[in-house]
């Protein structure tokens, strides 16, 4: 059986550029969550084509390129970022490789650079961040870093979610019943509850780890 050649470090930039160009090419062509789910499988397979030492570098570079964009030209960018974060988490927890542990601080810095004001549209991103933090705590990876993540990443995100929900509640109170039903149908009434639950799970895991 023919052996599939592994990618090397020189392929990282080209592969990331390919992915970002692909997202832009198909932008506005009816791309939905089903397509993102398929892309997630392919991105994870791409990461797996690198030696274990280069996988976190590939995912870091992917995030860095997205963060460097001067304007968000990809409508589903939060979902794509969530895929990258989830892929990092899965590789980190399944391999327990020190290479992923060593790059985790830089990866968190990049995660923090991704800013999304619309919490509902970026639900996947927030959930992925909380889940990564929970995994770090459960696997007891870098306690000092975990403390920083809790204070500098999770707490501010939780405050953003609460403030956003409060604003939406004010808007809902000003709507008539028909407009309110349409908005709730579009946004999903359980989104806020799910996000808060995911945050609480991460918070509980972190507190058990750092205390």
pLDDT in tens, 163-202: 998 887 787 676 655 555 555 555 555 788 899 999 999 9
Per-chain mean pLDDT for the chain: 87
* pLDDT for residue 162: 93
What single string gives the DSSP state of each residue in 84-141? HHHHHHHHHHHH--HHHHHHHHHHHHHHHH---S-TTTTHHHHHHHHHHHHHHHHTT-
* pLDDT for residue 76: 85
Q: Provide the whole-model pTM.
A: 0.88
Q: Is the CB of residue 102 less than 8 Å from the CB of residue 148?
A: no
Residue range 61-77, pLDDT digits in tens: 999 999 987 665 677 89
Could you tell me which of 179, 173, 167, 67 has the C-alpha nearest to residue 114? 67
Give the CB-side neighbour count of residue 102, counting CA atoms within 13 A: 9
Q: Is the pLDDT of residue 148 over 60?
A: yes
CA distance 126 to 72: 17
CA distance 12 to 201: 34
């Amino acid at each position: 059986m023919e052996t599939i050649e592994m990618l090397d470090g020189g392929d990282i930039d080209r592969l990331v550029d390919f992915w970002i160009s692909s997202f832009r090419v198909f932008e506005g062509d009816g791309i939905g969550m089903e397509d993102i789910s398929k892309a997630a499988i392919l991105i994870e397979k791409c990461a797996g084509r690198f030696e274990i030492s280069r996988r976190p570098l590939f995912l870091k570079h992917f995030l860095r390129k997205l963060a460097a964009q001067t304007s968000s030209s990809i409508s589903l960018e939060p979902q794509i970022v969530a895929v990258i974060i989830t892929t990092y988490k899965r590789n980190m927890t399944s391999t327990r490789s020190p290479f992923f542990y060593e790059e985790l601080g830089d990866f968190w810095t990049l995660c923090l650079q991704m800013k999304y004001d619309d919490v509902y549209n970026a639900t996947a991103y927030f959930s992925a961040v909380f889940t990564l933090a929970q995994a770090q705590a459960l696997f007891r990876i870098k306690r000092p870093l975990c403390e920083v993540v809790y204070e500098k990443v999770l707490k501010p995100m939780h405050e953003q979610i609460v403030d956003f929900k409060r604003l939406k509640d004010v808007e809902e109170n000003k709507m008539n019943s028909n407009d309110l039903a349409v908005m709730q149908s579009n946004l999903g009434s359980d989104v806020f509850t799910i996000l808060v639950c995911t945050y609480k799970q991460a918070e509980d895991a972190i507190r058990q780890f750092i205390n």
